[in-house]
Amino acid sequence: MRWRCVLLGAWLLTWAQWGVAQQRVIPLDQLRSGLSYAGADVRALQADEFGNPAQLWLLRGEQRWIEPVGPEGKSCQQCHGAVAQGLRGVAARYPAMDRRSGELMMLEDRIRNCRTRQQRGPELAFESDDLLALSLYLTQASAGVRLQVDIGGAARVHWQEGERLFMQRRGQLNLACTHCHDQNHGQRFYTDLLSQGQPNGYPIYRMEWQKVGSLERRLRSCLVGVRAELPPWGALQLRQLALYLGWRGQGLPVESPAVRK
């Protein structure tokens, strides 16, 4: 009888480990930030404390953080304190489950939520300048903190779905995320050098956009790139992909404010 228990125990252990470690296509020690694939011009701009065009957006974020909003004139700062103390590290663990609603939330959803529920102020639209400025400001407060999203509990199904979506072919080009970012990073796709598609710089300042944009906007560009149909803003599948990306990039330090071509 005893050997059976031992065998069962060993099997369960292997299964559990497999469950956690399954399908890491790029091993953790080979993760590379998108910055390491960028040209010298982009790298110089990102490193330049004064020339980095995202700096203006950070100032804007700071203003939004401290200004009173809504009928009671509450500021983000009033409840959360100085961002570098109160919310340092938070951006590195998003997307995350919201206990109250049971929803998978991006950092942007959190901010929108606090704006309407806590401040009772006007809604911040997806990809609006104020929302981007705030999310950049919060992300920068986590610069250097390593990505660590939670895929346990209720997040599990979203992670699984995110993985499935990452592997799924789509669009007229019939390509999946994995084809470009797991299998062909370091290769050229038209004029672009393909990176591993890591999320650790987002929101970023993108030169092509001439402004800051969210991870969701970047994912939408990739969908356009393969000529796939675009889901509505805030669609669950994009959050699930973001959760999978966070897990896939686990341990990469948040780089912010980041710049891309």
Catalytic positions are 222
Among 97, 142, 155, 197, binds ligand HEC (CB under 6 A): 197
Binders in 139-168 for ligand HEC, by CB under 6 A: 166
Among 55, 118, 148, 160, binds ligand HEC (CB under 6 A): 118
Among 241, 243, 252, 259, binds ligand HEC (CB under 6 A): 241
Among 92, 131, 151, 201, binds ligand HEC (CB under 6 A): 201
Q: What Rg, from alpha-carbon coordinates, does the chain have?
A: 20
By rule CB under 6 A, what string of x and - marks binding of each residue 27-66 to ligand HEC?
-------x--------------------------------
Q: Is 260 in the site for ligand HEC (CB under 6 A)?
A: yes
Residue whose pair of structure tokens reads 């590290």 in the numeric block: 89
Q: Residue 82: helix, strand or coil by DSSP?
A: coil
Q: Which is nearer to ligand HEC, 80 or 211 (CB)?
A: 80
Question: Could you give the residue ranges of the DSSP H alpha helices within the chain?
Answer: 2-21, 40-47, 55-66, 76-80, 83-86, 107-113, 129-140, 156-167, 177-181, 215-225, 236-248
* Sole window of 10-18, 78-86, 140-148, 153-161 interacting with ligand HEC (rule: CB under 6 A): 78-86
Q: Is 79 in the site for ligand HEC (CB under 6 A)?
A: yes
What is the Cα–Cα distance from 44 to 34, expressed in whole angstroms?
A: 14
Among 222, 231, 235, 253, binds ligand HEC (CB under 6 A): 222
Among 199, 203, 246, 257, binds ligand HEC (CB under 6 A): 199
- Residue 118: CB partners within 8 Å, gap ≥ 6? 74, 79
What is the Cα–Cα distance from 94 to 51, expressed in whole angstroms?
A: 28
Q: Minimum Å distance from CB 225 to ligand HEC?
A: 5
- Let me know if 134 is exposed, middle or buried by CB neighbors in 10 A (0-12, 13-18, 19+): buried
Within a 13 Å sphere around the CA of 91, how many CA atoms are in the beta-carbon half?
A: 31
- Residue 81: CB partners within 8 Å, gap ≥ 6? none
Q: Residue 81: helix, strand or coil by DSSP?
A: coil
Q: Which is nearer to ligand HEC, 7 or 59 (CB)?
A: 59
Query: Dmax of the chain from CA atoms?
Result: 71
Q: Is 230 in the site for ligand HEC (CB under 6 A)?
A: no
Question: What's 182's DSSP letter?
Answer: T
Among 219, 243, 252, 254, binds ligand HEC (CB under 6 A): 219
Q: Which is nearer to ligand HEC, 11 or 132 (CB)?
A: 132
Residue ranges in contact with ligand HEC by CB under 6 A: 34, 74, 76, 78-80, 87, 90, 100, 107, 110-111, 114-115, 118-119, 134, 138, 166, 175, 177, 179-181, 189, 192, 194-195, 197-199, 201, 204, 218-219, 222-223, 225-226, 241, 245, 260
